[in-house]
Amino acid sequence: MEMLPAGETRIWTTLDFNQDGKQHDWLRLPFSTDLSAYGVIPIPITCIKNGAGPTALLIAGNHGDEYEGQVALSKLARQVEPRDARGRILILPALNYPAVVAGRRLSPLDEGNLNRLFPGEANGTPTQMIAHYVSSVLLSMADIVIDLHSGGSSLYYLPCCLIRSGKTGAETARLIELMQVFGAPIGSVSDGTGGGGATTLSAIAQAFGVVALTTELGGGGGFSSTGEAIASQGIYRVLKHIGVLPNAETKSPPPVRLMQVAGRGAYTYAPIHGIFEPAVELGDSVEAGQSGGFLFPVEGLPRQPEEIRFAQSGLVACRRAPALAAPGDCLFKLVTDVGAN
Ligand code: ZN
């Protein structure tokens, strides 16, 4: 167990995390404004507890514009009754509530990207304070955390479950087993160097010794029923597997294709401003050097369209959603089969 983040949280709740039963409340984050001098930011939370057992922490709305997990957890909080459970389920369907209300990845209050701010600050901006509460209070109660993401407004994603490889082979094997129980079509094993590095919820959970599963379930700022069903079924299967919902009715998981992101060459970036015409779609297999499409300069005829080429071979797991792209925007992310290279 590493050092917990410094400082006492200012976020409070009327929930008693040790009380059996089902309780709904808010995490109340003090935020004083012109229009609400003594106001709090109300972050919804449900605690379902029945006696002794593991604690599962279920999170969506870490990024506000990723919706499948928000709906899956909203349903779960209504469906599960304390008599179904052994142990405790903590459900937060809208963790960065201001970002969820705004339909944005970042919080409009501080432009905070919650999943880049862990372990957070007790007396920081609202988004830093949420990260700190998760790190210092929620993770210290949890045996497992499932953090449900999707591609958000700027990316489309193939549905997948993601883990960071463990510190030991046994830890990695345990995570892969849980990913296979979750049953998203693709299971992505990360070495922790991509995306948010050490500042994500899954990274801080791993540092604190809490098992962490993450998902990507759709994207483009829309809602995928397929992605939501994968999240719902996956959560029930994992909760049953760890004994928190021992009698849940679940189907056996479909086969999971284990894949990885093989270095920086897996990402393709826009070199110029332009309108993106992709030549491949999610789920396509591509070869190194193959065309991924064109960027058409908005200046028109005097400038040539820029052809995009892949630096390596792989499966298209993710592509940019908005047509307009600027230099540095990620257009594609590729994954490759584990053990393939
Ligand atoms: Zn996200």
* Per-residue pLDDT reduced to its tens digit, 262-312: 889 999 999 999 999 999 999 999 999 999 999 999 988 888 999 999 999
Sequence-ordered strand ranges (E) for 116-204: 144-149, 155-157, 160-164, 186-190
Kindly give the distance from the C-alpha atom of residue 243 to the centroid of ligand 1, in angstroms, as a whole number. 28
Band (1; pLDDT cuts 50, 70, 90):
very low
Average pLDDT estimate for 10-16? 97
Tokens for 215?
A: 């998902």
**83 Cα: distance to centroid of ligand 1 (angstroms):** 32
Calculate how far, in angstroms, residue 276's C-alpha sits from the geometric centre of ligand 1: 22
Name the residues around ion ligand 1, CB cutoff 5 A. 63, 66, 149
Q: How far is ligand 1, taken at its centre, from the CA of residue 333, in Å?
A: 15
pLDDT at 66: 98
pLDDT of residue 257: 97
Strand partners, 259: 188, 337
What Å distances lie between residue 10 and 23, 132, 184, 223, CA to CA?
Answer: 21, 10, 37, 34
- Cα 309 to middle of ligand 1, angstroms: 26
The yes-or-no verdict on residue 193 having pLDDT over 70 is no
- In the chain the domains, ranked by start, together with CATH numbers, are 21-260 (3.40.630.10), 264-337 (2.40.50.100)
% of the chain exceeding 90 in pLDDT: 92
Kindly report the backbone phi and psi dihedral angles of residue 146, in degrees, each rounded to the nearest multiple of 5, phi listed first: -115, 115
pTM here is: 0.96
- Ligand 1 geometric centre to CA of 214 (Å): 9
How many residues belong to the chain? 341
- 139 token code pair: 């993770």
pLDDT tens-digit series, residues 22-59? 999 999 999 999 999 999 999 999 999 999 999 999 99
Transcribe 269-328 into DSSP letters: E--SSEEEEESS-TT-EE-TT-EEEEEE-TT-TTSPPEEEE-SS-EEEEEEE-SSEE-TT
Quote the ligand 1 centre to 200 CA distance (angstroms): 10
Q: For the chain, what is the mean pLDDT?
A: 95
**H or E segment at 72?**
helix 68-79
Mean pLDDT of 145-157: 98
pLDDT of residue 194: 64
Do residues 122 and 9 touch, judged by C-beta distance below 8 A? yes
Span 309-316, mean pLDDT? 98
CA 300 to centroid of ligand 1, rounded, Å: 34
* Distance (Å) of CA 6 to CA 96, 137, 145, 223: 21, 12, 21, 38
Confidence band of 5 (pLDDT split at 50, 70, 90)? confident
Split at pLDDT 50, 70, 90, the class of 339 is: confident
Q: Distance between CA 26 and CA 40 in Å, rounded?
A: 10
Summarize pLDDT for 199-244 with one digit per residue, the tens: 999 999 999 999 999 999 999 999 999 999 999 999 999 999 999 9
Q: Please name every residue paired with 269 in a beta bridge, in sequence order, or none if there are none.
A: 330
Contact yes or no for 214/206 (Cβ under 8 A): no
User: Tokens 């390596």, residue?
Assistant: 312
Whole-angstrom Cα Rg for the chain: 21
65 contacts 99 by C-beta, under 8 angstroms: yes
Q: Is residue 45 within 8 Å of residue 91, measured between CB atoms?
A: yes
Q: Distance from the CA of 150 to the center of ligand 1, in angstroms?
A: 5
Cα atoms in the Cβ-side hemisphere of radius 13 Å centred on 292 = 31
User: What phi and psi values does residue 309 have, to the nearest 5 degrees?
Assistant: -125, 145
| Residue 231 host element (H or E) | helix 225-241
Any idea which residue has 């935020």 for tokens? Answer: 31
d(CA 276, CA 323): 5
**The pLDDT value given to residue 198:** 87
Distance 102 CA to ligand 1 centre (A): 15
**Between 290 and 1, the higher pLDDT residue:** 290
H-only helix segments in 103-150: 126-133, 139-141
Q: How many angstroms does the Cα of residue 232 sit away from the middle of ligand 1?
A: 17
Q: How far is the CA of 104 from the centre of ligand 1 (A)?
A: 10
Strand 55-60 to 40-50 pairing: unpaired
CA distances from residue 313 to 185, 196, 271 in whole angstroms, order as listed: 20, 24, 20
Please, which pLDDT band fits residue 340 given cuts at 50, 70 and 90?
A: low
What's 165's DSSP letter?
P
**Residue 16 one-letter amino acid:** D
> Rounded mean pLDDT of 181-191?
94
The predicted structure's pLDDT at residue 293: 98
The rounded Å distance from CA 264 to ligand 1 centre is 20
Pair of tokens at residue 203: 């990274």
State in Å: Cα 159 to ligand 1 middle: 13
What is the dihedral angle through the alpha carbons of 36, 115, 181, 67, rounded to the nearest 10 degrees? 50
